[in-house]
Every structure is written in C-alpha cells, then in structure tokens.
Amino acid sequence: PLDYKTRGYELKEDPRRYYQNQLDCYCLMLEYSGFRTKGLAYLLYYWPEQVEQNGIVRFHVKPVKIETNIESAKKTVKDAAKLLSLPMPKSNPDCEYCSLVTKRKGERK
C-alpha cells in the first residue's frame, strides 16, 4: 500500500511510531482481498519547499519504505473485537469523550 502524507515542514522523526499499525492493517486488508503486499508499505511525504510569487508551490517529496506485520494487524483486529464484545463502561462526568457522546446523542433527537 501507498499512503500520502502532507506536512508543513520536513519529516523530523521515524514515521513508524505513528503509522505502523495503520500500514499493518492496510496490508492485512489487501492480503485478505487477494492482493499480495510482500510485507511492505510506503508513505509518501510532501512538504512545501518553495512558494513562488505567482502562487505556485513546489514540494519536496520523500518516500519512506516500511516493513509491515500482518500478524500484528490480526492481533489488533482480535483485540478490537474482544473490546467491542464487552459491556459498555459507565460514563465519567470528567471524561471529555463521555461528554461528547452524551452531547451527540442529544443532537439526534
């Protein structure tokens, strides 16, 4: 798989920290759909290198090759399914996510 990423500045750290799980899951989905991935994925980073007076923006492009692990993606899916099968936890008034869910439920009425 190939995923595009845009930034306002040059890549400063290893993107695996942020995208490994996403890319593992992409490869799992592709493999299960009959496509071979060779255990690799690519991130293609773009960031502005030069902005010309006429408004044309020139971008620097940096490809990053990342090895993927389908077994890790399978574990993620199994863990998610297990979590979703558990009873919903009680909401906490101090939790911003619980407040958001309550607010959104009220908007549907």
DSSP letters spanning the chain: -EEEEE-SS---S-THHHHHHHHHHHHHHHHHTT---TTEEEEEEEEEEEE-TTS-EEEEEEEEEEE--HHHHHHHHHHHHHHHHSPPPPP-TT-HHHHHHHHHHHHT-
Q: What is the pLDDT of residue 19?
A: 97
Q: What is the pLDDT of residue 67?
A: 98
Q: Roughly how many angstroms between the first and final C-alpha of the chain, as a whole number?
A: 41
- Whole-structure pTM value: 0.78
Mean pLDDT per 10-residue interval, the chain, length 109 residues: 93 92 98 96 96 94 97 98 92 84 71
